[in-house]
Amino acid sequence: MSGDCRELQVRGWVKTKRDMKNMVFVDLNDGSCLRNIQCTFDLSLAPDTAAILSTLGTGASVEICGKLVPSPARGQEVEITASSLRLVGDAPGEEKNGAAPYPLQKKRHSLEFLREIPQLRGRTNTLGAVMRVRSALAFAVHRFFQDRGYQYLHTPVITGSDAEGAGAMFRVTTLDTAGALDYTKDFFGRESFLTVSGQLEAEAYAAALSRVYTFGPAFRAENSFTPRHLAEFWMIEPETAFFHLEDNMDLAEDFLHYCLKTALDQCAEDLEFFDRRVEPGLIGALQSIAASRFFRMTYTDAMGELERAWARHGSFEFKPHWGCDLQSEHEKFLTEEVIRGPVILTGYPKEIKAFYMKLNEDGKTVRAMDVLVPRLGEIIGGSEREENLEALSRRMDELGINKERYNWYLDLRRYGSVPHSGFGLGFERLIQYITGMANIRDVIPYPRAAGQLY
């Protein structure tokens, strides 16, 4: 910097404070980016700040005025030579008036500990960086689809249908749950739940607007306590009329590429942090995946690979066999050892997939497409939908699904039915993948998981 130094005011929270003879250095952060701004106080020039500085601790909020000057210190271009300091909100480092001391002192905290204080953990470098990436990606999701002529559709949160047929739903009721429940007397006059997916409703609007996408919360009462499952998560579900499975796979691949490129371009500083502190090699991996085509493979071929690996060294906990659902160890093996990159698996056995997927000519497999990525496993699940009324009815009968409940859905096959396809991307899994964070609970502001309402 040269010429006049600008006088400015900054506001934020104290990260650290260091004293050196007559000088005090305060690192300030307002959460807008990872880097702090260093504010230097010369106590001989600003003696009235000394009293505030003497008790100022990490976490306090302050307003500082001063001049922005080139910094002599390494690692920062500029700093602020402070002329005044106002304490906005104290954050005592010791117990005060019965309140515990501010818990986020200088030392590094475990992510487990931070989960217990979701109201404060956003102030840490890690969670702050995660939430900035999350925000940038949420905006990118809309840009991607809007630029391609997709309409943003709001699907209901409260629903009567189990879109995935997996039965893992949270019940919504206003009945007194103490006795036997008569749902005809319930709020909607019938059973209702929190949605597991907006897909079925999106299909209806794809048959009206051609291209739609949803981006909203989904709820699953799965009792799986894994680092990649939440009870409440956000899902992006595009649904496209006249799309076959190949088109759907191309869209999913373009979409993931776009998300990775956006993160690399717009969140460079935060990604460098994750690369340094969370997942070494992260940026290189994201760059190479953003630039390469995803490998495509059938479930049957993938199972062949897994069975051969089992025969060679039997190193899985679950023995793979045709017809079984892939365990995360299998997904890991395929993406990290066999393909060494993302893979789109197609042609799953119909028994392990939802009722709405289009049956292949073999009568055994469906036009499903799951995108699996290294480190994480499944990031996207999707399919071409069964658009034929008879075939869909038959499948629903086989599964014992109450067709009365889905009569509205069957209408889409009765009137102007078209081939159509879609997929769902778990937004938190995307953020996990991009940041390298190991646990999905650390990429959403307030995680909800089995047994834990943080």
Measured from the CB atom, the residue of 320 and 426 that comes closer to ligand 4AD is: 426
The minimum distance between CB 337 and ligand 4AD, in angstroms, equals 21
Q: Which of 386, 45, 164, 435 is nearest to 276 (CA)?
A: 435
Measured from the CB atom, the residue of 237 and 331 that comes closer to ligand 4AD is: 237
Residue nearest to ligand 4AD (CB): 381
Distance of CA 40 to the CA centre of its chain: 38
Cα angle, residue 274 at apex, residues 126 and 77 outer, rounded to 5°: 85
Neighbour tally for 71: CB within 10 Å: 17
Which one of 37-45, 281-289, 379-387, 409-417 is the stretch in contact with Mg ion (CB under 5 A)? Answer: 379-387
Among Mg ion, ligand 4AD, none, what does residue 374 contact (CB within 5–8 Å per kind)?
Answer: none
Among ligand 4AD, Mg ion, none, what does residue 12 contact (CB within 5–8 Å per kind)?
Answer: none
| DSSP 3-state percent helix, strand, coil across the chain (nearest 5) | 35, 25, 40
Measured from the CB atom, the residue of 377 and 381 that comes closer to Mg ion is: 381
The minimum distance between CB 425 and ligand 4AD, in angstroms, equals 6
Determine the 3-state secondary structure of 359 from DSSP.
strand
The structure tokens listed for 293 are 């085509």
Q: Which of 384, 423, 388 is nearest to 245 (CA)?
A: 384
Among ligand 4AD, Mg ion, none, what does residue 90 contact (CB within 5–8 Å per kind)?
Answer: none
The structure tokens listed for 107 are 């030392």
Backbone phi, psi, residue 264, to 5°: -65, -40
AA identity, residue 356: Y
The minimum distance between CB 56 and Mg ion, in angstroms, equals 50
Residue nearest to Mg ion (CB): 381
Among ligand 4AD, Mg ion, none, what does residue 367 contact (CB within 5–8 Å per kind)?
Answer: none
Binding site for ligand 4AD (CB under 6 A): 163-164, 197, 199, 220, 222, 229-230, 233, 235, 237, 378-383, 422-426, 428-429
Measured from the CB atom, the residue of 12 and 342 that comes closer to ligand 4AD is: 342
The minimum distance between CB 95 and ligand 4AD, in angstroms, equals 38
The structure tokens listed for 248 are 């759907």
The minimum distance between CB 378 and Mg ion, in angstroms, equals 6
Half-sphere exposure of 95 (CA within 13 A, CB side): 2
The minimum distance between CB 346 and ligand 4AD, in angstroms, equals 13
3-class DSSP string for 417-436: CCCEEEEEEEHHHHHHHHHC
Among 12, 198, 342, 381, binds Mg ion (CB under 5 A): 381
Question: Using an 8 Å Cβ cutoff, are 421 and 245 in contact?
Answer: yes
How much is the CA Rg of the chain, to the nearest whole Å?
27
Neighbour tally for 167: CB within 10 Å: 10
Note whether 424 binds Mg ion by CB under 5 A: no
Measured from the CB atom, the residue of 207 and 425 that comes closer to ligand 4AD is: 425
Measured from the CB atom, the residue of 320 and 381 that comes closer to Mg ion is: 381
Contact partners, residue 131, CB within 8 Å, separation at least 6: 122, 445
Among Mg ion, ligand 4AD, none, what does residue 38 contact (CB within 5–8 Å per kind)?
Answer: none
Measured from the CB atom, the residue of 230 and 283 that comes closer to ligand 4AD is: 230
The minimum distance between CB 424 and Mg ion, in angstroms, equals 8
Measured from the CB atom, the residue of 325 and 337 that comes closer to Mg ion is: 325
- Only one residue has tokens 């190479």, namely 288
Q: How far is CA 181 from CA 143, 185, 187, in A?
A: 45, 8, 12
Measured from the CB atom, the residue of 27 and 237 that comes closer to Mg ion is: 237
Question: Using an 8 Å Cβ cutoff, are 424 and 163 in contact?
Answer: no
The minimum distance between CB 334 and Mg ion, in angstroms, equals 15
The minimum distance between CB 71 and ligand 4AD, in angstroms, equals 43
Binding site for Mg ion (CB under 5 A): 381
